[in-house]
A and B are shown apart, each in its own frame.
Chain A
Amino acid sequence: MRPALLQTRGISLAFGGVVAAQAIDFTLSHGERLAVVGQNGAGKTTFINICTGHLKPSAGTVHFDGHDITGHSSRSITRRGVGRTFQLPQIFSEHTVRECLLLAASSVGRRRGFWVPMEEAVDANEVDETLELLQLSSRARDVAGSLPGGQRKLLDVAMALVLRPKLMIMDEPTSGVSSDEKHELMRVLMRALDERGVTTIFVEHDIDIVRCYATRLCAWIAGRVAADGLPEQVLSDPAVVRNVIGE
């Protein structure tokens, strides 16, 4: 039987007196598209940070694709196949859009080193396909720092996607994007991730986006998974309605 793609057992972490993760048991299977909701401070980003190596849990284990990655560096976890994007897009603002992707692709490239020009070190076709997939081809030669918010988000995802991850974890992909553009952004993102067969976790505050794009939903309350299941089931849970949606 194929192992779960991501599995956490009893992970806990506290910042002083604030408990950000309380003995979280969580399993994600291949092909799922999981949304994570919760109020600010509920522990969503802490959970992501633990899974991607930015934080080390005080207790518990994290397994990815059958390997124990607890406490591994973010670099090592990325190399195992976990891509990550951020609430504030993390791009190389002085490089062009294409250079950002070439540099990202170089970490899984064919040749590296002092003498090999970046263009020759990577599969340029893969880079161009990813630009096309995320509708960034027309901005390829522009300096990344000059892109508007929505396209910065797309570039952030493109840089993670070009690494050919098995799992993509996105922290609030639609934050900072106008409500008119949110659905278009998510449509492009999800199409790209589906086309590459990437399992996805995304943290989101917009319930409408969650309903439209998630196949599974976890609601986080005070460092715990309070509800987990199909989006409509979780969204009708009284505790979730009271503590997360706020209706």
Chain B
Amino acid sequence: MRLRLFVGALVLLGVALPLAVPWLKTPFLLALSNGLAVLGVAVLIRAGQVSFGNAMFACLAGYGATYAARFWQLDALLLIVVGTALAALAGALVGLFMVRYRGIFFGMLNLAFSMMLFAILGKFGAYTGGTDGLRFERPAFGFVHLDRDGFESALLAVALLLALAAGWCVQRYYRSVSGQALAAIKTNETRLEYLGISAKRIFWGGYILAATLCGLGGTLFALTQGLVTPEMGYWVRSGELVFVAILGGSSHAVGAFLGAFVFEFMKLYAAALLTGMWQLVLGLILIVMVFVAPSGIYGLLSRLLGQRPRSVLKAR
């Protein structure tokens, strides 16, 4: 109950703060889009698999939305659908190959795919804008042309709703047979097969979900910036998603967003106060988190809020 109140308070803050302090809209939007991508990575971590290439789906979705905005001048809401659907489709195709591998091979193959995408986007400059990326005009929102501030406010409202919906869906998934079987892949894949459950099919479903969430985050990121670059899919960006997933905690969907907000503002202030040294701050924080709160900020808060200790897989 206390946790639900806490999440409610966070959502209220998410609405009230950007209204009171307008410059917060952009960092909030970036944190929410990052949080959605991190949620995707957290889904894979639940199966005991760490991907160092999932930013490719965010990148692919961002480019998909950009092309749709440039060639068809689609509405922002439709761009979100197009970008996310493209990532889901790519996840389904790449996933067919990925579900055969586990552990370090899974992590590295994802990285390999993402680096191939990075190279293609960088080298085919005539179509992709090369390393400079592609810009697009601010699209209509709900078939209404808004000024920059109005567009950001509308996008923030939609991002907040999407984040809530995605968090709810992922929690529901964690409680389902598929979600529980996904968690069982981490501890005993052999047994799953001897129960008549296909571990590969279950993992494929989780992989598609992860790609879809990364795609949703990538599309929102592209809409916030009005610009996409190959950097969105660079392996360092994928590493950041894993970092934030560990920072926030992967046992509950809220952890992804907590981690994303802490990361965004830490980066913002550390970059301003310790120019060129902000990575040092992030590194120190990660070391402290691993020693003090290995279950992430969410796990730490759960303890502080007096949540009963329960199975690490419980997702209510």
Range of interface residues on A (Cβ < 8 Å): 35 or more
Chain B residues in 8 Å Cβ range of A93: 187-188
Chain A residues in 8 Å Cβ range of B197: 75, 103, 106-107
Chain B residues in 8 Å Cβ range of A84: 194
Closest to B198 in A: A75
Of the 9-residue stretches B151-159, B176-184, B216-224, which lies at the interface with chain A?
B176-184
Distance between Cα atoms of A108 and B193 in the complex (Å): 13
Choose among A73, A75, A114 the residue that contacts B173 (Cβ–Cβ < 8 A).
Answer: A114
Contact across chains for B176 and A94 when beta carbons are under 8 A apart: no
Choose among B186, B191, B312 the residue that contacts A91 (Cβ–Cβ < 8 A).
Answer: B191
Closest to B175 in A: A117
Distance between Cα atoms of A122 and B312 in the complex (Å): 22
Contact across chains for B187 and A78 when beta carbons are under 8 A apart: no
Chain A residues in 8 Å Cβ range of B312: 94
- Knowing A75-B193, A94-B186, the reply to whether A113 touches B311 (Cβ < 8 A) is no
Q: CB within 8 Å of B: which of A125-174?
A: 143, 145, 159-160, 163
Q: CB within 8 Å of A: which of B179-235?
A: 180-181, 183-184, 186-188, 190-191, 193-198, 205
Is there a chain B Cβ closer than 8 Å to A115's Cβ? yes
Chain B residues in 8 Å Cβ range of A78: 193-196
Closest to B177 in A: A106
Q: Mark A191-228, 1 if CB is under 8 A from B, else 0.
A: 00000000000000000000000000000000000000
Is there a chain A Cβ closer than 8 Å to B313's Cβ? yes
Is there a chain B Cβ closer than 8 Å to A124's Cβ? no
Distance between Cα atoms of A41 and B105 in the complex (Å): 33
Is there a chain A Cβ closer than 8 Å to B172's Cβ? yes
Closest to B184 in A: A92
- Knowing A94-B311, A95-B313, A99-B311, the reply to whether A52 touches B194 (Cβ < 8 A) is yes
Contact across chains for B194 and A117 when beta carbons are under 8 A apart: no
Residue positions of A touching B, CB distance < 8 A: 52, 73-75, 78-79, 84, 90-96, 99, 102-104, 106-109, 112-118, 121-122, 143, 145, 159-160, 163
